[in-house]
Amino acid sequence: MIPPQEASARRREIEEKLKQEEETLSFIRDSLEKSDQLTKNMVSILSSFESRLMKLENSIIPVHKQTENLQRLQENVEKTLSCLDHVISYYHVASDTEKIIREGPTGRLEEYLGSMAKIQKAVEYFQDNSPDSPELNKVKLLFERGKESLESEFRSLMTRHSKVVSPVLILDLISGEEELEIQEEVPLEHLPEGVLLDVVRISRWLVEYGRNQDFMNVYYQIRSSQLDRSIKGLREHFRKNSSVSGVPYSPAIPNKRKDTPTKKPIKRPGTIRKAQNLLKQYSQHGLDGKKGGSNLIPLEGHEHDFRVKHLSEALNDKHGPLAGRDDMLDVETDAYIHCVSAFVKLAQSEYQLLVEVIPEHHQKKTFDSLIQDALEGLMFEGENIVSAARKAIVRHDFSAVLAIFPILRHLKQTKPEFDQVLQGTAASTKNKLPGLITSMETVGAKALEDFADNIKNDPDKEYNMPKDGTVHELTSNAILFLQQLLDFQETAGAMLASQVLGDTYNIPLDPREGLARAPETVRGSAPCSRRSPEPADTSSALAPSVPAARAETSSSATSYSSEFSRRLLSTYICKVLGNLQLNLLSKSKVYEDPALSAIFLHNNYNYILKALEKSELIQLVAVTQKTAERSYREHIEQQIQTYQRSWLKVTDYIAEKNLPVFQPGVKLRDKERQVIKERFKGFNDGLEELCKIQKAWAIPDTEQRDKIRQAQKRIVKETYGAFLHRYANVPFTKNPEKYIKYHVEQVGDMIDRLFDTSA
């Protein structure tokens, strides 16, 4: 049970809460009554406002409609008056613009184009609204006259302001490709800026309104002429001003050209060393210098001066003065190479100009027409070079053929730029350069093959054979020709690769195909040699062993790797050297004296070896013939041994095995004394005869000459010294000075004077 006190307290709390709720309810009722009253008042006010607004609207709407009708009438009147003015203005266009059209656009192009726009609109108006009006014919005639004036102005601007690019500027443009620490920008402005803007505006107007493409023909004819004349001017510049010492330099920036030390000299991409020019150095330089100097051995002996003089005279008789002829070849080569570079640069510049003037959908066709004359001229010159090379091959002037090597290399280097410039032109245009490259590769390969065959089959054995056994002209020419190829290794390799390799070299197109196959000998060269002391077995140390496999051939060398081109060139060089050795061996048989034949082969082998070592030829040969250097050294030693056998007829007289045996202290018999006398006499006569003969022989290489002298001197002095020691004090004669004519040192001195006509 709940205690009474707590129950009473809870009752009181409940009563108080009930009282509060009743008071709240009473307040809410009062608020609702007030709200209802306010709502009734608001509804009454809104109803009154709506009634008044309806009355106002009924009064305003009629007035608004009347005002709107009046405004529409006013606008119609104004439009009618404006249209009348506009129509009337078309009837005045002819009279207003006739004077401007008659005077032409020169100096007032903006105003002139504005007048042409008015005439165009008048023509359109009369065609649409009054096709039979006489005013239509009048404005049409005026429009045609104005269009002709614009075309004439276009031609006039292009003719007056299109100038031939000077050779100096072209050379600066080309030389801009060289690596410079300070780049100099050479501007090439075909048209003044103001003129170009006028030409562009006229071009756009003729395309948009004139509906005439004749101006495009005018454009390409004028620009084509300037491009062709620019390139021809550069060619003439070379012919008039070039010299062998260098390409004509641009004086466009004379101060910087003279004073700026950071600028590298422009390279002569066409400069090649002709074999005839190098033959002049043949008499002046040896092989003992540092790498980078001359690779030639001087010819010594009394035959040398006569041979060089005779060779120079023969070449002069055949080709004219050497210097003038070779200089002209260099100039023509440099001129053509620079003309090719100039064409690329000028064509790029022409295309940039054309893009601004000619509409986009006509640009490629117009550009194709624009470059035709200049491109045809370059191709014609290139074909002339190919034709000249073919004639040079026929007359076996292989040094002249070398002119195509720098040209072909430059054409291949320039081909990517060529292709980019000719992008979008006709296929016939794009194929001209590849066709010329193919022709040059074919002719170059033909020259290389004919040269190798000429080395092998040279029938001349007696004519021009050196009487002193020095280096033969054929050897020097062959080495000089091969040295020329060092600067054009990839070019020459590509020439060889472009031919039918299976039939010519028996090498797989892919070098990897032949790695596991047995080696075979290059056709046309001698078989691999085996070591033998006899000269007859030393014919072809350099006949290369190369991997052989038949493969499908291709007429293009672009896909061949640099490594494969190097392998082909190595094979070719080995073939030439093998043919050369066969020919030298054949020529050596002309000499009746085996010793002189050995000296001849020794000199030529030594010359070849030194020339290979002093240049990169030895590395090229080693690609396919690893033992080339060792083989040549073996052959050189074999020839030295053969030469040394010529002294046996002297030393055999005094050799110990051939000496008579006698007892010491026993008086010699007459027969024994006579034998000793014959030995001394035979030695003396043989020594004098050999020294007299071999003194006139030549060994150009100082090191080899000293080596042979010392070796022979040691052998003879030892043998003679022993003989002299044994018989000098033997009373075999009453006149010992008659038989003992030379002391040992005198014999050595005589041998030291071998191979030296001045001694």
CA dihedral (564, 568, 573, 579) in degrees, to 10, reads: 150
Residues 682, 688: Cα–Cα separation, whole Å: 10
Domain end marker among 112, 132, 147: 147
Whether residue 71 is contained in a domain is answered as yes
> Which residues, at least 6 apart from 108, have a Cβ–Cβ distance to it below 8 Å?
100
Compute CA 635 distance to the chain's CA centroid, rounded to the nearest angstrom: 39
**Maximum mean pLDDT: which of 89-103, 316-330, 398-412, 591-605:** 591-605
Whether residue 117 is contained in a domain is answered as yes
Residues 348, 165: Cα–Cα separation, whole Å: 14
Please give the pLDDT value at position 501: 46
- Residue 753 domain boundaries: 653-758
Domain end marker among 102, 117, 147: 147
Taking the CA atoms of 536, 537, 542 and 544 in sequence, report the sign of the dihedral they define: positive
Q: Please compute the mean of the pLDDT values over residues 541-555 and round it to a whole number.
A: 36
List pLDDT tens digits, range 58-103: 888 888 888 888 888 888 888 888 877 777 777 888 888 888 888 8
Structural element, H or E, at residue 521: strand 519-521
Whether residue 680 is contained in a domain is answered as yes
Whether residue 521 is contained in a domain is answered as no
Reduced 3-state DSSP string for 113-178: HHHHHHHHHHHHHHHHHCCCCHHHHHHHHHHHHHHHHHHHHHHHHHHHHCCCCCHHHHHHHHHCCC
Q: Please compute the mean of the pLDDT values over residues 171-186 and round it to a whole number.
A: 60
Whether residue 167 is contained in a domain is answered as no
Q: Please compute the mean of the pLDDT values over residues 489-511 and round it to a whole number.
A: 62
Q: Is the pLDDT of residue 444 over 50?
A: yes
Residues 429, 421: Cα–Cα separation, whole Å: 11
Domain end marker among 119, 147, 175: 147
- Provide the b/e sequence for 172-202 (b: ≥16 CB within 10 Å): bbbbeeeeeeeeeebebebbeeeebebbebb
> Which residues, at least 6 apart from 522, have a Cβ–Cβ distance to it below 8 Å?
505, 506, 543, 544, 546, 571, 574, 575, 578
Please give the pLDDT value at position 306: 40
User: How distant, in Å, are the alpha carbons of 227, 362, 363, 455, 744 from that of 152?
Assistant: 22, 21, 21, 66, 103
Number of domains, the chain: 2
**Mean of the per-residue pLDDT values of the chain:** 78
List pLDDT tens digits, range 503-532: 444 443 333 333 333 233 333 333 333 333
Radius of gyration of the chain from Cα atoms?
Answer: 51
Please give the pLDDT value at position 664: 61
pLDDT band, residue 350 (cuts 50/70/90): very high
List pLDDT tens digits, range 614-663: 988 999 999 988 999 999 999 999 999 999 999 998 998 888 776 766 66
User: Taking CA 618 as the corner, what is the angle to CA 595 and CA 579, rounded to the nearest 5 degrees?
Assistant: 55
Whether residue 96 is contained in a domain is answered as yes
Q: Is the pLDDT of residue 436 over 90?
A: yes
> Which residues, at least 6 apart from 130, have a Cβ–Cβ distance to it below 8 Å?
136
Q: Which of 523, 558, 331 is nearest to 441 (CA)?
A: 558
Q: Is the pLDDT of residue 141 over 60?
A: yes
Whether residue 506 is contained in a domain is answered as no
Whether residue 504 is contained in a domain is answered as no
Report if pTM > 0.85.
no
CATH of the domain at 671: 1.20.1280.170
Give the N- to C-terminal CA distance of the chain in Å, as an integer. Answer: 163
Token pair in block for residue 535: 């000269």
User: How distant, in Å, are the alpha carbons of 8, 540, 549, 624, 705 from that of 520?
Assistant: 136, 14, 9, 11, 37
The CB-side HSE value for 224 (13 A sphere, CA atoms) comes to 18
